[in-house]
């Protein structure tokens, strides 16, 4: 897990980087993860086929958090295989930074933690994304229960686009 005291190991891959490129700092990447409005979650179906879906989420306490209804495809996939990839970035070819986070999606059920995350969701996305907390889940009267998952990065990548192009790998614990 990333902490200010123990940052990830950071390596620039010069094979995929422009001459003179430098590794992007993890604090810069973490700030972009926190500000991103949308993430793409990749899971694996029980039969081995991939599944990718866009979703909103929160970067908090060194992990990306997302929620899903317990009967949704992504929740069923996670029950069989909790290993995921989350991505965010831009669709521009020559500017910005794309980020890939690899890790395990672990369910969050602690009432105090869920309450704090619910406040963060609403602060980031507005009142339409207000959640109550009950029975180890987020709850919305019209939508029902949603399970919350945390993904602590095991490995992450930052792909800097535009001059200089760069590829940075971050390895955690």
What does the pLDDT read at residue 154? 97
CB 95 within 8 A of CB 160: no
pTM over 0.85: yes
pLDDT at 7: 86
| DSSP 8-state code for residue 81 | -
Q: CA nearest 42: which of 105, 89, 93, 92? A: 105
Q: Which domains does the chain have, with CATH numbers?
A: 9-171 (2.30.110.10)
The DSSP-derived string for 66-102 is EEE-TTSHHHHHHHH--EEEEEE--S-SSSSEEEEEE
Question: Which residues have a Cβ under 8 Å from the Cβ of 123 and sit 6 or more positions away?
Answer: none
Reported as a single tens digit per residue, the pLDDT across 37-66 is: 999 999 999 999 999 999 999 999 999 999
Positions of the chain with pLDDT lower than 50, given as ranges: 1
pLDDT of residue 3: 53
pLDDT at residue 51 in the model: 98
- The answer to whether the CB of 153 falls within 8 A of the CB of 8 is yes
| Sign of CA pseudo-dihedral 28, 34, 35, 40 | positive
């Amino acid at each position: 897990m990333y902490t200010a005291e123990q940052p990830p190991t950071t390596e620039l891959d010069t094979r995929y980087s422009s001459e003179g490129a430098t590794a992007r700092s993890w604090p810069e990447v973490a700030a972009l993860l926190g500000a991103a409005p949308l993430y793409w979650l990749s899971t694996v179906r029980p039969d081995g086929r991939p599944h990718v879906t866009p979703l909103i989420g929160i970067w908090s306490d060194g992990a990306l958090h997302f929620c899903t209804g317990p009967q949704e495809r992504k929740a069923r996939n996670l029950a069989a295989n909790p290993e995921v990839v989350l991505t965010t970035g831009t669709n521009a070819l020559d500017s910005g930074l794309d980020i890939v986070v690899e890790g395990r999606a672990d369910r969050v059920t602690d009432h105090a933690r869920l309450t704090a995350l619910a406040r963060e969701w609403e602060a980031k996305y507005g009142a339409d994304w207000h959640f109550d907390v009950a029975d180890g889940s987020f709850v919305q009267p019209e939508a029902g229960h949603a399970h919350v998952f945390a993904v602590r990065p095991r490995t992450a990548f930052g792909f800097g686009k535009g001059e200089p192009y760069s590829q940075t790998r971050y390895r955690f614990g």
